[in-house]
Structures are given as structure tokens and as C-alpha cells.
Amino acid sequence: MAGGGTTSDVRSLVSSLRSAYAATPVKLKIIDVYVLYALTTALVQVVYMGFVGSFPFNAFLSGVLSCVGTAVLAVCLRMQVNKENKEFRDIAPERAFADFVLCNVVLHLVIMNFLG
Amino acid sequence: MAVVNGIVLVLAVYCSVTLACASLHPLSEAEKVAAKQLFISRDDGSFGSLEETYQAVKSLKLLKSDEVDAVKICNFVARSVNSTCGTKDTFYGIRTAELLHCQDAAKVAESVVPTLIDGLKHAKSLVDLYYTVDALSTIKKHHWSLASHSFAHAVEGVLGRVKALAGSHGTWRFAEDETDSSAKAAGFAFEITAAVIDICGYDSHESEVKFLKAAAQKLIEKSERDEDGAHYFDEFKDDKFSGNGGALIVSATVLRGITALAGVLPDGIKVREEKMFGFARFFLSIGTLDSATEAYYQLEALSALENNRILIPLAVSFTSSVLSLSSHDKLEVIVSTVLGSPFPHALLTIISAHKVGEETAPVLTDQELQSVEGDHKYIFDLVSDFEVGKYDLKIEVKPATAELSYKYSAGDLTSARITVTGKVSVSSIQIAVLDSDTGSPEFTTSLDFSKKEKATLSANHLQKLRVTFDLTSPSGGAYTPQQVFFKLQHESGVEQLFVVTSSGKNFELSLDFLGLVEKFYYLSGAYALELIVGDVTMENSFLWALGSLDLDLPEAPEGATNPPAVRLDATKRFGPKEEIAHVFRQPERRPPAQLSNSFFVLTLLPLVGLLVGLSSVGANLKYLPTSGLPLLSALGFHGGIAAILILYSLFWLKLNLFTTLNILGFLGMFTCVTGYLALSHLAEQSSKVKTA
């Protein structure tokens, strides 16, 4: 590939990615937005830690782990809800959502306990 | 040094105790202060009743205290004494007014005279008679009443009534209908007699007075004696006429009566010297007093002892029983009455002074003490005659003139033990290491005591250690202290103590290590050397660290005894532990509030992003059921989740884990049921869509 074509290549790649993503079901998009939200919040806290130090460390850990944990759970939910994913075909999306809610309840009970 | 000081102190205390036993010791300042504290005045200046007030005023006067508010008490007496109050209150009121020289005493007295004279006829007991007659005698003495010339007539017959109550052995009955007679009642009888003689003279009642005098002498002979030589009357029962009994009050009452009687008789009363000293000893050795009344009776009796016409006992005391030669202390003797008033007219002679523990001739005999004008002390300069040591002194105390000898007596010879202390000089200290066989010195060092020099030595088991020094007493003679030790302490803590013996001034200790290896437990290494010299009479007792000795001993053979376990220092074991300084954790550095708040807002921003993102991907509430049970269950499900989240924030803020789990259980069940209903409804719908 020639050097002059790089920008247009990138552009075509992005547009093809966007069109491909547009076909994704709304449910999965919602989950993606949620994951993005959780990770951004975690990032803000990490940046704050970079500024002022990690004291109190338990509060920092709970904050970040709350975000990361819920993001991981959301990713799992996405895997189970995705119809393309043959592996989880037997699991109904409603059942997956109930699992997601239950896991979050347990995760946050622990987070709150650790928050101090 | 502390130990030596302690020994000196113990000995000083012991000496002062023996002094107290040997001769009379006046009432001490501490006892006077303690007695003063028993009398507590009230707001109106009085000390309670008229009786308590009189006792307090009299006692405080004897103690030379100025804590009495005379004006207030005079007012109190004027208010309380009148023709209607009893004879007892009248008596104490008149007596208090007499003590304080109250201005309106005459007015008060005049108002009660008719009642008193009237009361004489009705008096049933000795105590009533005593109050009445004594009050009248006081009024007459001070010419407080215009009717005093009629008192003599009024008291006629009183002595006859008193005589009628007499018992067989100098004791008396309180009233006619009493069967028991007591020494205490006798005391009252004597006082009544003295008061009657005061009022109408001696001549008119000669026969009764002679009888009473004989009874008094009989009673005195009946007093009891304890092993310390104290005389007293032992009656412990109370009586309904005069209240409290007990040896102190009974003895005081008897003594007061006898001295009062002796005071008005032209030829006095003869009482043996031993008896008077016995009484003095009893009242001085009462010890701790419980009540103001007891203090009053003690002081009243002591005042009777130092102000009477029978015999006044003198107390002899020493300012110090330890005298230092180096500070040129002098023997100081104080002669005083029992209450501590100085007696300046005495002649004091040291009959003999013996050194304790030596059967030699007395150090001095027949030496007169000098009287110090104004100071009321008698002194004697010891320096010329006394060596350091302990001495037993016998001192004769006599009133200066024959005339005074009839009035005063200091009893037998006063014996006292004094300790004379001085600085002992230490010289020619030599430490030598000798060859065991030849005895020739291989190493010799001399130390200077004034600089407390130290030496460093080394020796082996084939050598000897020799320590020599001289001790000289202040006068240049030989001196042998009670304790002379040489101490070797191994670095492991094992101690060896040797007594250093003397011949004359010269002290010598020789240690042959070959014979001592077993005693030293074959312990080689560094030994600390200490010389300990101490005695009660030595002012410069010392513990001198002489230096160290590096000792080389052979290896311990099989079966040799092991060195004993070194005892821990008791002060280390039981003494105070080191103080623990608490270090509090420094608070962590916190970021500025503005930064934290701005990051709080930043963490909220992604939430806004989430909402924007959701709307942009086209999220909606299309599947929310519109009616019936499904709507309720869907709302319940979401409400349940919200409630759980709120519960979590409460858990963070204030709830504990148990409460939280409890509530969570209920909320979880609720959310579970509603969630099941809501989600199964959704699943049904989607399957319907699929099949359609």
C-alpha cells in the first residue's frame, strides 16, 4: 500500500467498522454503552489517584473494582445475550439479565463492606 | 551510702524511744497540734454546749493557741446563762467568763446567784454540789456579786453532807441512794472541799477537812501502776451523774481534786515523788486521742501537774541524740514542765559517761552543764573528751536552790544514750599482687582516697592479692567500723565478699587464689573490686570502686560446682517499668477539598455520557408492560433493585452488616419474586414473537 493512501484506508476502515456496528442489535449497544460508562468512571478514579495518592487505599480499590467488576459482568451479559454466540444459545436473555442483576447485588454488597 | 544513712536513722529513732522510756518527755509539738485540731469552733464562736465551750477554751489556753474569739464567746455565755438554766450550764458559763475575763461577767453572775444558793439545798449528788459550790467560789473570788458575804452562810453544812457520802478506802458515793463508791466521785468531793474552804476559810471546818485529807492520801496509795511506771485509776464504768468514765477521765478528776485540795490546805498534802511522776507518765503516754473531751482531761491533768503545791515534775529532753564532732555539735538538754514551759533554774550535772560496749572507766564524771540564758537550754561541749562512738550518759537534774527543791523535782538520774559521729580518715591504701611461693610483690599500686582513684590489675591462680589500708578516728586513734568488706564481682554477676580484719589502725586482707579457685567457681575474666566501709558513727561511710582485676584461673574440672544463678536486682524486678511514650499516628495528608469535589463532578460526567449514549443508540421502554400484574411486577422489580442500592448506601453510612443482611434478605426475596414474574412475562412475549 502506498503512503498517500493511508488516510483514506483508515477512513474506509472506520466507515466499514461503523456500518458493521450499526447492524448490531440495540440491546447489545446498550450494554456496550454501559461498559464504556463503567470503564470511564474507573479511569476518572485512577486519574484522581494519580493526582493525590492512594490514601485511603480501600476506598480507591472499592471505587475502581466496583466499576471494573460491573463492566466485566456486563461483558459476560453481552456474551450470553448475543445471538451470534452459539455457545450460550440455551440461555434465555432474561435468565442472563437476572444473573447479571444477582451478581451485581452480591458484588456491591462486598464493595460497600470494603469501602469502610 | 543510702544503707548507712538508713542505719543511722533507725538508730536515731531507737535512741529517741529509749530516751522517752528513761525520763519524762514533755508533750511534743506534734501532740499539741493534734490536740488543737480536735477543737472546732462554730459560727457563733462557741464550741457547742457551754460545757464543750469551756473545755475548748481551757484546752486552747493551755495549748497557748489564740484561735478563741473571746468577744463572741462572752456574748454566747451572756446569752445562754440565766436564772432558768441548770447548775451545770451556770457553772461552765461562769468558768468560761472567768477564763476570758468577760466584761459583763459580773452582771451574768449576779443574775444566777439566787438560783445557785437555792440550788444548794436541793442538790442531790456530789456533781450538783460541785457545780454549785465551785460556781459560788469563783463568783466570790472575783467579787462579781454584792451578795458574796452571804455565801459562807449558804455553804455551811455542805462538808458535812460530803463527809456522809464517804466510802471506806478513800472512795466516795455520788449520792445517798447509791451503793457503789468510786475514785471519780472522790475527785469531786475534794474539789467541793477546796471550794468551800475558798469561800469560808479553813478554820471553821477543821475536823471534816482532816478527814478528807486522810481520805485523799488513802486514795492516792490505791492507784494502779503499769510496767512502764505509769500510775492511774482504773475505772471503766460510766455513771449517770458525770457521764464518761475511763482511766483518763477518772485519773484526771482525782488528780484535779487532790491538787485543788492541796492548794487550800495550809500544810498541803504529802504525795510520794514516784506517784507524781507516775501520774505524769500516764498522762504523757496517752497517745492518740479520739475526742475533744479526752484532750481536755489530758491537758487539765497536765496543767494540774505543772501548777500545784504538792510537787511539780520536770521533764528532761535532748534536742538531738546524734552529735557530730565535725560540725562541733554540743550536747543540748532542755528542762521543762510537762506541758513544755521551760524551767530555767536547774543545775545539771553529768554524773558519768560510759562508752557503750567497753568495760573501761567512764569517759568523764561530774561535769556541770552550762545554762544558756534566754534559750532555756543547758549545753555541754563534748569535743575535748569524746571519741566517735555511742555513750550512755547519766545526768542529774536538780532545782538550783533548796527552796525550789521543795516545789520541783526531775526525779532520779536521767539516763540517755547518745551517738557521737565524726569523719574517719582513710590512708595508705595499697593493692599488691604477690607471688604465692616467695611472697615477693610482683605489682604494687597505691591509691588516693580523696580522689577515689582506681587501679587495673591482673593475676592468675598462682598469685596472691593483698589489700591494705589504715583507718584513723578524728582524734588520731584506731577506729574499727562495724562493716569493712572487700567485694569482688565477676562480669557474670557472681559476687564474693570478704571481711577485712584489723590490727590497730592497720587493715589487711590477703587472698590466695590457689585456695580460692573453687570458691570462685573457676570463673576467669574481669572482676570489679569494691571496698565497703560503714558505721553508724562514721559520717563518711563509703563504697569505693577500686578498679578491676583480670583473673586467670584454671579450667573447671569434671564435677566442679556450677556458679550459682545470679539474683536479679530486686529494684529491676519489682521497680517501676520504663515509661511508655505513646506515639499517635500522624494523620495522612489529604488533598485540597476543591480538587476532590471537582473529581466528584468528573465521576458523574460518564453518567451523563451513559444517558446521551443510551438515547443515541435508540434505547427505549417499549417492552415495559402496559397494564395488570406484569406492570406491577416490573415496577416492583426495579423498585426492589433501587431499594437494595439505597440499603447499600445506608450500610455504608450507618447500618451494620447484620441489620443490612437482615433487610437485604426481605428485599432480595421481594425482588426475586417480582423479577421472576417480570422477566418470565418478557420471555413469554419474545417466544410469542418468535413463533409468530
- Split at pLDDT 50, 70, 90, the class of A61 is very high
In which residue are the cell numbers 454503552 written?
A: A33
- Three-state DSSP string of B53-79: HHHHHHHHHHCCCCCCCHHHHHHHHHH
Query: Residue B232 and residue B434: Cα distance in Å, rounded?
Result: 72
Task: Indicate if the pLDDT at residue A82 is higher than 80.
Answer: yes
* Chain B CA closest to residue A35: B610
Q: Which residues of A touch B590 (CB under 8 A)?
A: 55
ipTM over the 0.95 cut-off = no
pLDDT at B567 over 80: no
| Closest chain A C-alpha to B610 CA, distance in angstroms | 6
Which one-letter DSSP state was computed for residue B239?
B
* Confidence (pLDDT) at A105: 95
Cis peptide before A56 (omega within 30 of 0): yes
Q: What is the largest CA-CA distance in chain B?
A: 155
List the strands of the sheet with B322-324, edge to edge: B322-324, B414-421, B389-399, B346-355, B364-368
Does B373 have pLDDT greater than 80?
no
- pLDDT beyond 90 at B239: no
Query: What number of other Cβ atoms are within 10 A of residue B509's Cβ?
Result: 19
Q: Which region among A26-30, B13-17, B582-586, B620-624 has the lowest average model confidence (pLDDT)?
A: B13-17
pLDDT of residue B453: 85
Find the mean pLDDT for residues B90-94.
90
Contact check, Cβ <8 Å, B648/A108: yes
Mean pLDDT of B230-253: 79
A:B CB pairs within 8 Å: 84
Q: Are the Cβ atoms of A34 and B610 closer than 8 angstroms?
A: yes
Average pLDDT estimate for B109-138: 86
Is residue A31 very low, low, confident or very high in pLDDT (cuts 50, 70, 90)?
Answer: very high
Other beta carbons within 10 Å of B366: 10
**Bridge partner residues of B368 (DSSP):** B349
Cβ-Cβ contacts under 8 Å for B689 (sequence gap 6 or more): none
DSSP 8-state secondary structure symbol assigned to residue A88: G
| Beta bridge partners of residue B508, listed in sequence order | B468, B501
* Cβ distance of A44 and B648 shorter than 8 Å: no
Query: Looking at residue A42, what is its pLDDT?
Result: 95
The pLDDT of B298-324, averaged and rounded, is 89
In tens, the pLDDT along B518-540 reads: 888 888 889 999 999 999 999 98
CA gap B80, B45 in Å, rounded: 13
Chain B: residue nearest A28 by CA? B617
CATH architecture of B314-421: Sandwich (2.60)
Residue type at position B603: T
pTM (2 d.p.): 0.62
Residues in chain A: 116
Q: How confident is the model at residue B383 (pLDDT cuts 50, 70, 90)?
A: low
Residue A4 has pLDDT above 70, yes or no: no
Of A26, A44, A109, the CB nearest to B619: A26
Q: Give whichever of A30-34, B238-242, B367-371 has the largest mean pLDDT.
A: A30-34
Amino acid sitting at position B36: K
Kindly determine whether residue B595 and residue A52, on different chains, have CB atoms separated by under 8 Å.
yes
Neighbours of B454 (CB within 10 A): 13
- Please list the residues that pair with B495 across neighbouring strands: B489
Cell matching residue B229: 511506771
Q: Domain extents for chain B?
A: 38-142, 156-309, 314-421, 425-555, 625-692
pLDDT at B667: 95
Position A64 scores a pLDDT of 95
Of A2 and B307, the structure prediction assigns the larger pLDDT to B307
CB contact under 8 A, A112 and B651: yes
pLDDT grade for B22, boundaries at 50, 70 and 90: very low
Mean pLDDT along residues B222-246: 78
- CB contact residues (below 8 A), chain A span 39-68, against chain B: 40-41, 44-45, 47-48, 51-53, 55-56
Confidence of residue B686 (pLDDT cuts 50, 70, 90): confident
User: pLDDT > 70: what percent of chain B?
Assistant: 95
State the cell numbers at B437: 611461693
Interchain CB distance below 8 Å, B651 and A92:
no
In terms of Cβ atoms closer than 10 Å to its own Cβ (0-12, 13-18, 19+), residue A59 is middle
Cα gap B652→B629, rounded to integer Å:
34
Mean predicted lDDT score pLDDT of chain B: 85
What percentage of chain B exceeds 90 in pLDDT? Answer: 22
CATH 1.25.40 fits B425-555, yes or no: no
Distance CA B59, CA B622 (A): 110
Query: Which residue in A85, A65, A83 sits closest to A26, CA to CA?
Result: A83
Which of A89 and B641 is assigned the larger pLDDT?
A: B641
The pLDDT > 90 percentage for chain A reads: 66
**CA distances for B259 relative to B3, B253, B268, B302, B552, angstroms:** 51, 10, 9, 11, 83
pLDDT per residue over B421-448, tens digit each? 999 988 888 999 988 778 788 888 888 8
The whole-angstrom separation of Cα B552 and Cα B439 is 19
CB contact under 8 A, A30 and B588: no
3-state secondary structure of A2: coil
Structure-block grid coordinates of residue A95: 435468565
What residues contact residue B394 under an 8 Å CB cut-off, 6+ apart? B350, B351, B352, B353, B413, B414, B415
CA distance B165 to B176: 6
Is residue B245's pLDDT more than 80? Answer: no
pLDDT of residue B628: 84
- B268-285 pLDDT, tens digit each: 888 888 889 999 999 998
Q: Label each residue of B475-528 as H, E or C.
A: CCCECCCCEEEEEEEECCCCEEEEECEEECCEEEEEEEHHHHCCCCCCCCEEEE
Averaged pLDDT, B176-191 = 86
pLDDT(B546) > 80: yes
Most B CBs within 10 Å, among A40, A81, A91, to test the B interface: A40
